[in-house]
Amino acid sequence: MNEIMAIWADWLKPSAGLPTVQWSILLAVAAAAGHLLQRHTGLPKVVGYSMIGALAGLGGFSGGAWPLQGIGLFLLELGVSVVLFEAGGRIALRWFRHNPMVLLQSLLECTLTALFVYYTLRWMGVQPSVAEAVALVAMAASPAVLSRVIMDTRASGPVTERAMVLSTLSTLYALTLVSARAGVMHRAHTSLGELLFPVAVVLGVSFVVAAVLALALRTALRVMSPTSENTSMLLIALITAATALAAHFGGSAPLAALLGGMMLKQLNPRPWAWPRQLGTASSLLTMLMFVLVSVVAAKADWNPAVASLVVAMVLARGVAKVLGVGAANWGSGTNWRQAFWTGCAMSPMSSVALLLVSQFVASSLTLGPRIASIALPAILLMEVLGAIFATFAIFRVGESSRPSLADTTPLNTLPGELRG
């Protein structure tokens, strides 16, 4: 694409610039690939988006510069914020009073994930600071990928809901810890107070922005219909403003959106669904987010030495999440089989993990590239394989209303006597 555009550059001068043309064509191809992949294989569309983005990145597409900055970074933060706001709006805090074991599951699986990944990388010779950073990134599952899988498979049930809640909580922990850790990463020695102060700052600023966002939306919902097109535009505009302000004041934009969704759920506990207009805008933004993540991640330095670290890290992360969910399953309302598939459904990594890696890269010129060399290939791998694992887990527990791949044979391929 870059070579073709270079040939045309002398006479092709679109008003928005050649990068806009390139991205438009890439997104159109990704949309078609996602649709065709789901139609003919039963896999979620996100797999097609990621594969097209990966091929573009491996082919030298220049639209995703690393490290992320400027409009690319803002669009990724906005996409993550929209997804996390919706995910936070699904969590009712009173549920945890009746079922505290879910919180224990969340804390245990995140703790085990960080420990397993850290000690696996240390055993393979990775220096402590790099192993620690990768371990914190590995904590975060991907509500964005999981929500797309749920939408494409039309899934509902205890495993689906539990996996979504645990993925959202793991993102909450990872955003807080990484945002705080990146701020003191350049210091050789830090006391407990120096470690806790950045956590308090990130949480405090994000909480204030989230509270303002939730109160503004709650006020709007008092006088506007939740299904109104204007309500959709107001919601997108306020999330955009919160995304721009949170990071500027020292907080985390995705964290503020997640907390804002949770607060709005408490202020407005009645079930509320996003109108169709917002769903379309959110879908386009989400597709852009997935393609951007795979384009950037595909540009990582792929070599055999890194491959062994990535495989070890992915395996350690997967085992830790399954063990963590299973170990605290007693009394949580699900059986052991459901707990196992819940842990498998939490395997995706995507946009949140890329944002976390970007924070480390921006905070340290020496350690950042080493962290990215391990994390970026793992993100690309688990954006694709994680979506497949999550889809398989949902089908195995029977919570999808779509037929499985074995049942998607087109009618026109069946014998005539069977079509009736």
Structural domain includes residue 52? yes
**Residue 263 token pair:** 């607060």
120 occurs within a structural domain: yes
What's the confidence (pLDDT) of residue 408? 45
Longest Cα–Cα distance of the chain, Å, equals 76
- 418 found inside a domain: no
Tens digit of each residue's pLDDT, the chain (420 residues): 556 555 555 555 655 566 777 888 999 999 999 999 999 988 999 999 999 999 998 888 877 778 888 888 888 999 999 999 988 988 888 878 888 899 999 999 999 999 999 999 999 999 999 999 999 999 999 999 999 999 999 999 999 999 999 999 999 999 989 988 887 776 655 566 666 777 888 889 999 999 999 999 889 888 887 777 788 888 889 999 998 888 788 888 999 999 999 998 888 776 565 555 566 777 888 899 999 999 999 888 777 888 999 999 999 999 999 999 999 888 888 899 999 999 999 999 989 999 999 989 988 888 889 999 999 999 999 999 999 999 999 999 999 876 654 444 443 444 443 333
| SS3 of residue 400 by DSSP | strand
Q: Give dist(CA 152, CA 390) in Å, integer.
A: 12
Work out the number of other CB atoms within 10 angstroms of the CB of residue 28. Answer: 11
pLDDT at 210 (0 to 100): 94
Is residue 416 in some structural domain? no
pLDDT value of position 420: 36
Look up the pTM and report it: 0.87
**Domain count within the chain:** 1
pLDDT attached to residue 352:
93
- The structure tokens listed for 396 are 């195995």
By C-alpha distance, which of 387, 396, 393 is closest to 141? 387
Crossing angle of helices 70-88 and 143-153, in 10° steps, is 60
CB 352 within 8 A of CB 167: no
Residue 420 forms part of a structural domain: no
Q: Is residue 414 part of a domain?
A: no
**Domain residues for 158?**
2-404
pLDDT of 334 reads 85
224 CB burial (10 A radius; 0-12, 13-18, 19+): middle
Residue 184 lies in a domain: yes
Q: What separation, in Å, do the N-terminal and C-terminal C-alpha atoms of the chain show?
A: 48
pLDDT at 312: 95
| Domain of residue 361, CATH code | 1.20.1530.20
Residue 410 lies in a domain: no
Q: According to the model, what pLDDT value does residue 271 have?
A: 59
